[in-house]
Structure 1
Amino acid sequence: MPAPTIERPLRVGYVPLTDAAPLLLADALGLFARHGVPVVLSAEAGWAALRDKLAFGALHAAHLLGPLAIALAAGAGGLRRRLTITTGLARNGNTIVLSPALAAAIGPFAPPLDPRRFAEALHARAEEGLPPPTLAVVFPFSSHNYLLRHWLAAGGLDPDHDVRLVVVPPPRVARALTEGAIEGFCAGEPWGSQAVVTGAGRFVLATGDIWRDHPEKVLAFGESIAERDEEAVLSVTAAVIEAAAWLEDPANRPSAARILQERAFSELPLSTITAALEGRVAAAPGFSPQPIAAPMRFLAASRPRREEAAAWFSAMRRWGHAAAADAEALAPWRPDLWDRAAARFSPRPVTGRASPSPLLQMPLESDA
């Protein structure tokens, strides 16, 4: 007897970020409908709310942090759920921004900032009797946390003692920096650009400067949905892949920016959103946008790769956020389902890989 299908339409959650673009564009361009599956998108305030809704069935699928998918699969953080990841949504796309005061304490520099320069500034600050700076990441199980930690450690800092790491949802980081609640953050665009445009922060580097073309968010389906309605899963995946291909065409980016502004970033200037799609960090009035060496990429992120997810799992183990081994940790990654969805295209989409991950290198002395 065939498994029962899930109720329609499918509810798909996302956090307002530029790398949610393949989902938002698949909806705006009518691609979900064209592939025969009704979808309702749900904007969520942050990753904790989205995780809980996905884990307990209020959402069928979601735009999700790759390390968070690993955490759920492995039961890290006390919650274990089986997910199915059929496609990646983006590579790169995060920025590290510091308050003007903290940036000034470093002295003159041009992005990307050398971590040793940052470490020198923090050591000088400590010698003056000042407390460690408070830096925000968007979630404990996130690329932002692990890439920022890697960068700090590369400068000789201990991320658990030499800085104070806190969690702030992406849409709130620029405001938290403005209000002085934090002195810097690592978050997805366009929120770094927004902090720079308003004068609240200074761009110091992109996460693509730490790991070039690193995988970012994924499309994750809730527990057992791939078994209960595989056709719906394949149809949603195919629509998202098609949207990613559409986004890769530079001629489409002005339209994409307008759609993103309308659907996710109504409070932001169009130029800020456009800059993020074009691989630049928006600038304060009177200055030119800062190009990023490793810009956000969509189609190149599409095929989910377990070997790249393994780099996140390695970082989670390094920092004590996951058990040393867990057979289920990488089980959600399903490139076979991507292959089946992508086979509906002619010619078949071509996707890329990240450079070798630095997260698999440079263990702490305690790990040796």
Structure 2
Amino acid sequence: MDLSSPALLTASLSIGYVPLTDAAVLVVAEDLGFFARHGLRVALSPAASWAGLRDRVAYGALDAAHMLYPMPIAAALGLVGPAMPLTVAAGLGRNGNTIVLSTALAQEMGDAPMPLAALRFAEVARGRNLRLAVVHPVSSHNYLLRHWLESGVLDPDRDVTMSVLPPPAMPAALASGAIDGFCVGEPWGSAAVLAGAGRAVVASGDIWPDHPEKVFVFRASAAAAEPQAAIAATAAIIAAARWLDEPANHPQAAAILARHAFPSLDLAAITPGLGGWVPEPDGGTRRLSHPLSFREALPPHMAHAAFWLSCMRRGGHLPAQIDQAQALAPWNNDLFLRAASALGEPLHAPTPLPTESAA
């Protein structure tokens, strides 16, 4: 169903994203004309870091953006800067991150099977204060990496040094020896492996299978001012997710991403993440049990947001008292439900939550 109307034909939106494979939904929607088909003119704008992207939304430079699942919670509570009401329109992907260790460190693991057991990593890491990087403090990368370390009886706050780096900076930091490992979204893990800097030893889907990863969000004021445009943009996202989950479309999707999001990367670094593979240092590839996927991630589930809120609490990222209703207010689902109804998109069931020990 086409949601365009004479009024929408002049609607324009500025949408930001961090260059990652799970931003493909946005990039494909623009390149293949899904936004235009729904009556929208869209200006896509890459951001080097999650913090920079958040600031551009906060100051009104962007109407909407690709965000880490826990970020709207932090924004709603004003954990960094003033409180910023957001509206979550759709999920943008599930799985898609890898833990990559430096080549030297990976070699110390010997012939340990992949995905690497946390206890095996702990045998090598304990007492060395290894330096591990994540993309943002309030991210699935941080919380899942911390859980993996804890499952190996390592204390993430004492046994390793955790730092924050923008995703595109990770491969160079690993190659230079500034860090010993990282958790990042594709294609930056594959890029590091292909550059000879490291080995992908664990995928985030190995820690929480099919975990929700990113969301498409609007500034609440922008969605309220142009509700039909916000619904139309969400419909375009749904159409792009459907297209991306067809394996036959992955080569074209990789080429689109290479042109728009990753002009400095070879297709060899971009393609594996779309197909559910990671490259190995010996030139081979390894199939992931829980690869990046798009369509079943579309419905934004409050249960998932509540789980990430519990991770934020355990990670010490929340004050003692919070208004949980305020924290979860971005997940009202109105935009998604209206767009999904127009397109006949089913409401995919939420991924089961991890056990309490992962919270």
Same fold, TM-score > 0.5, yes or no: yes
Contact 2:57 2:65 in 1 (8 A): yes
Tell me if 1:231 matches 2:234. no
Describe the SS at the equivalent of 1:76: coil
Residue 75 of structure 1: aligned partner: 78
Contact 1:261 1:273 in 2 (8 A): yes
Work out which of the residue numbers 286, 297, 301 in structure 2 matches 1:301: 297
Hey, which bits of structure 1, 4+ residues long, moved more than 3 A? none
Contact 2:150 2:156 in 1 (8 A): yes
Work out which of the residue numbers 161, 172, 178 in structure 2 matches 1:164: 161
Describe the SS at the equivalent of 1:258: helix
Contact 1:55 1:223 in 2 (8 A): no
Residue 318 of structure 2: aligned partner: 322
State the Cα deviation string for residues 111-147 of structure 1 (Å, max 9, x = none): 1111111112122xx2xxx4x0110000111110111
Residue 23 of structure 1: aligned partner: 26
Counterparts in 2 of 1:291 and 1:143: CA distance versus 1, 3 Å: same
Residue 143 of structure 2: aligned partner: 146
Residue 88 of structure 2: aligned partner: 85
Contact 1:140 1:167 in 2 (8 A): yes
Contact 2:307 2:353 in 1 (8 A): no
- Count how many residue pairs are aligned between Structure 1 and Structure 2: 349
Work out which of the residue numbers 174, 178, 184 in structure 2 matches 1:181: 178
Offset at residue 350 of structure 1 (A): 5.1
State the Cα deviation string for residues 309-339 of structure 1 (Å, max 9, x = none): 1111000000110135422111101323211
AA of the residue aligned to 2:327: A
Counterparts in 2 of 1:150 and 1:48: CA distance versus 1, 3 Å: same
AA of the residue aligned to 2:116: L
Which structure: greater strand fraction?
Answer: 2
Contact 2:88 2:332 in 1 (8 A): yes
1:1-368 mapped onto 2 (5 Å cutoff) = 8-123=11-126, 126=127, 130=128, 132-284=129-281, 287-323=283-319, 324-326=321-323, 327-345=325-343, 347-349=344-346, 351-358=348-355, 360-361=356-357
C-alpha distance in 2 between matches for 1:23 and 1:349: 20
Describe the SS at the equivalent of 1:216: strand
Counterparts in 2 of 1:352 and 1:245: CA distance versus 1, 3 Å: farther
Describe the SS at the equivalent of 1:224: helix
Where structure 2 has 5 or more consecutive residues not aligned to the other structure, the ranges are 1-7
C-alpha distance in 2 between matches for 1:287 and 1:266: 23
C-alpha distance in 2 between matches for 1:313 and 1:307: 10
Residue 4 of structure 2: aligned partner: none
Contact 1:93 1:296 in 2 (8 A): yes
Residue 366 of structure 1: aligned partner: none
TM-score, with structure 1 as normaliser: 0.91
Offset at residue 233 of structure 1 (A): 0.5
Describe the SS at the equivalent of 1:333: coil
C-alpha distance in 2 between matches for 1:111 and 1:142: 24
Contact 1:110 1:204 in 2 (8 A): no
Deviation larger for 195-204 or 220-229:
220-229
CA RMSD for the aligned pairs?
1.6
C-alpha distance in 2 between matches for 1:362 and 1:14: 28
Describe the SS at the equivalent of 2:250: helix
Contact 1:12 1:60 in 2 (8 A): yes
Deviation larger for 12-21 or 96-105:
96-105
Offset at residue 214 of structure 1 (A): 0.3
Where structure 1 has 5 or more consecutive residues not aligned to the other structure, the ranges are 364-368
